[in-house]
Amino acid sequence: MYDMNAEDFPTPDVEVETIAPERLKDRIDAGEEIVLLDARMQSDYEEWRIDGETVTSINVPYFEFLDDDIGEDVLDRIPDDREVTVLCAKGGASEYVAGTLAERGYDVDHLEDGMNGWASIYETVEVTDYDGAGTLLQYQRPSSGCLGYLVYDDGEAAVIDPLRAFTDRYLEDAEDLGVDLKYALDTHIHADHISGVRDLDDEGVEGVIPEAAVDRGVTYADELASAEDGDTFQVGDVTVETVYTPGHTTGMTSYLIGDSLLATGDGLFVESVARPDLEEGDDGAPDAARMLYESLQERVLTLPDDTLIGGAHFSDAAEPAADGTYTAPIGRLVEEMDALTMDEQAFVDLILSDMPPRPANYEDIIATNLGQNAVDDDEAFTLELGPNNCAASQDSLAGD
């Protein structure tokens, strides 16, 4: 009935249409009613999947479709009166599953490259509420909620919290904009994705890491520039100022861009505050939480209320601003997020009370970002697949 392909998934006899990840996201963003049949194992599905207000997501592992006689209990779970998009990890199993359903009269396609393809989506949105010099863009990776920033002015640019997987993208964007990518700055040693600072430095961009992070065991500190509290970087007429904000990690450093937006890394998000346990573990989390409280109260909330906050992540709980970015003015966050007006002990108790699971592969990712673990591009991409889980709470701490 089937010929086996190189990845040992049967190739269906019927032709199965594919849908590009970008096209699927456009349809979800447009509010279309989407039915997704996720053919990965249940544990993978529960950890990380594609969701949305208009998305109906069904998990039936691919092995349920391996027999010629598929159980009626399986088929009954899949609507036969609506278009269904099948997905898996890389696209092989989903093509097979979609084929078996197409042979039975279902209206199906499958997601090109599966969740790997979904993880390759990387979008740019202009921060229109930014009122500093130059132009500020926010990079958004919907699969993991990773955010980065590109500020450019007068022929120069800087990127903050770049991802290794998109090194070429930053260089291409700079070329398209007609600017010289001058700096690549990291806010801290990330635990959820592989940093692109060293790769950009290899391409002639000046890579910068926080000086306060060096003592964690950064093996390449002598090869890159470092940023201490109060240091500034000039990008055309834009001044990017280093603001030391420890708590999430001891090296956590924010960057104030044009006196208008504070790129807070994993210190403060538009829906929550940082988790404090990824560097020192559970035992060190209370002290790190107190450090975070001090950073927020003395370094972040003392900025003008109209200063925008732009973190390095957003979650499903986050609501984008009117311009489509995950940014918000400090004044609004203080009004909406009780954690920002609590006393220290209540703050510590709150953020230790509901922390989500730690990011997948976080120990290997940290070791890679410290330079202690060498991985190739494919391994790096695989390590960072999944949700980020860098916020303190599984739910939004802002608003209702």
55-81 per-position pLDDT tens digit: 999 999 999 998 878 889 999 999 999
Burial call 314-351: b when 16+ CB within 10 Å, e when fewer: bbebbeebeeebbbbbbebbeebbebbeeeeeebbebb
Q: What is the dihedral of CA 290, 291, 296, 297, to 10 degrees?
A: 70
Q: Per-residue pLDDT averaged across 210-230, rounded?
A: 96
CA–CA separation, 32 vs 29, rounded Å? 8
Mean of pLDDT values over 355-376: 91
Residue-range domain boundaries for the chain: 3-118, 123-383
* β strands within 266-383, DSSP E: 308-311, 328-329
CA angle 293, 297, 301 (to 5 degrees): 130
- CATH number 3.30.200.20 is the correct assignment for the domain at 123-383: no
- The whole-number pLDDT of residue 93 equals 93
For β-strands 206-210 and 225-227, DSSP reports them as: parallel
Residue 3 has a pLDDT of 35
Of 81, 25, 13, 18, give the one whose Cα is nearest residue 50. Answer: 25
> 174 and 200 in contact (C-beta within 8 Å)?
no
88 is catalytic: yes
Pick the closest to residue 263 from 235, 287, 285 (CA basis): 235
Give the per-residue pLDDT at 394.
Answer: 63
Please write the tens of the pLDDT for every residue from 101-128: 999 999 999 999 999 999 999 999 999 9
Quote the pTM value.
Answer: 0.93
- CA-based radius of gyration for the chain: 22
- Kindly list the distances between the CA atom of residue 140 and the CA atoms of 166, 172, 374, in Å, as whole numbers in the listed order: 11, 16, 26
pLDDT by residue (tens digit) across 306-347?
A: 999 999 999 887 889 999 999 999 999 999 999 999 999 999
- Distance, in Å, from the CA atom of 308 to the CA atom of 321, rounded to the nearest integer, reads 11
Other Cβ atoms closer than 10 A to 60: 21
Q: What percent of the chain has pLDDT above 70?
A: 96
Q: Which two tokens stand for residue 237?
A: 């007429």
Distance CA 236, CA 8 (A): 54
Asked if the model's pLDDT at residue 292 lies above 50, the reply is yes
The residue from 39, 84, 88, 391 that is catalytic is 88
Residue 291 is predicted with a pLDDT of: 97
Identify the pLDDT of residue 397.
76
Q: How far apart are CA 25 and CA 79, in angstroms?
A: 21
User: pLDDT by residue (tens digit) across 1-45?
Assistant: 333 343 566 666 788 999 999 999 999 999 999 999 999 999 999
Contact at 8 Å (CB) between 187 and 295?
Answer: no
Query: Angle at Cα 324 formed by Cα 37 and Cα 32, nearest 5°?
Result: 30
| pLDDT, averaged across the chain | 93
**Average pLDDT score over residue span 234-261:** 97
CATH class of the 3-118 domain in this structure: alpha beta
Specify the pLDDT at position 265. 96
**Residue-wise pLDDT tens digits, 133-188:** 999 999 999 999 999 999 999 999 999 999 999 999 999 999 999 999 999 999 99
